[in-house]
A = this chain, B = another copy of it.
Amino acid sequence: NKNFISLKQVSINNGFWSYYLKLIKDVMIPYQWEALNDRVPDAEPSHVIKNFKIAAGEIQGEFAGMVFQDSDLYKWLEAVSYSLIAYPDAELERTADEVIDLIAKVQQSDGYLNTYFTIKEPDKKWSNLKDCHELYCAGHLIEAAVAYYEATGKKKLLDVACRFADHIDPVFGPESHKKKGYPGHEEIELALIKLYKVTNNSRYLNLSKYFIDERGKKPLYFEIEAYNRGIKNIHNIWGELGKKYFQVHLPVREQTTAEGHAVRAVYLYSGMADVALETGDQSLIDACKRLWDNLTKKRMYVTGSIGSMSIGESLTFDYDLPNDTNYSETCASVGLVFFAHRMLQIDPDRQYSDVMERALYNTVISGMSLDGKKFFYVNPLEVWPEACEKNKVKSHVKYTRQPWFGCACCPPNIARLLTSLGKYIYSKKAKEVFVHLYVDSELKEKISESEVNIKQSTQYPWDEKIIIDIDSKKETEFTLSIRIPGWCKEAKVKVNNNEIDLDSVMEKGYAKINRRWKHDSLEIYLSMPVMRIKANPNVREDEGKVAIQRGPIVYCLEEVDNGKNLNNIVLPRNCEFEIKKDKDLNDVCVIETDAFREKYEDWNDELYKSDVKVSYEKTRVRFVPYFAWANRTPGEMEVWVREK
Q: Which residues of A contact B (CB under 8 A)?
A: 240-241, 296-298, 300, 302, 308-312, 316-317, 320, 322, 325, 384, 386-387, 390-393, 487, 489, 531-540, 543-544, 547, 549, 565, 567-568, 570, 598, 600, 603, 605-612, 614, 642
Number of copies: 2
Q: Is the CB of A607 within 8 A of B386?
A: no
Q: Is the CB of B386 within 8 A of A608?
A: no
Q: Is the CB of B642 within 8 A of A533?
A: no
Identify A540's interface contact among B317, B384, B392, B537, CB under 8 A. Answer: B384
Identify A543's interface contact among B489, B547, B568, B605, CB under 8 A. Answer: B568
- Docked complex Cα distance between A598 and B535 (Å): 13
Name the residue on B nearest A299 (C-beta): B607
Cβ–Cβ < 8 Å partners of A531 in chain B: 610-611
Given contacts A534-B600, A537-B568, contact A393 B391 (CB under 8 A): no
**Residue among A322, A535, A537 with the most chain B CB within 10 A?**
A537
Q: How far is the CB of A258 from chain B (nearest CB, A)?
A: 13
Q: Is the CB of A642 within 8 A of B537?
A: no
Identify A387's interface contact among B320, B392, B598, CB under 8 A. Answer: B320
Q: Is the CB of B320 within 8 A of A390?
A: yes
Cβ–Cβ < 8 Å partners of A320 in chain B: 386-387, 390-391
Cβ–Cβ < 8 Å partners of A390 in chain B: 316-317, 320
- Docked complex Cα distance between A603 and B297 (Å): 12
Q: Is the CB of B312 within 8 A of A392?
A: yes
- Docked complex Cα distance between A60 and B539 (Å): 56
- Docked complex Cα distance between A470 and B257 (Å): 69
Cβ–Cβ < 8 Å partners of A300 in chain B: 607
Cβ–Cβ < 8 Å partners of A567 in chain B: 537, 540, 543
Q: Is the CB of A536 within 8 A of B603?
A: yes
Q: How far is the CB of A518 from chain B (nearest CB, A)?
A: 39
Q: Is the CB of B392 within 8 A of A311?
A: yes
- Docked complex Cα distance between A642 and B325 (Å): 21
Q: Can you identify 15 A-B contacts, CB atoms within 8 angstroms?
A: A297-B606, A309-B392, A311-B392, A317-B390, A320-B386, A320-B387, A393-B393, A533-B608, A534-B609, A534-B614, A537-B603, A539-B607, A540-B567, A544-B544, A547-B608
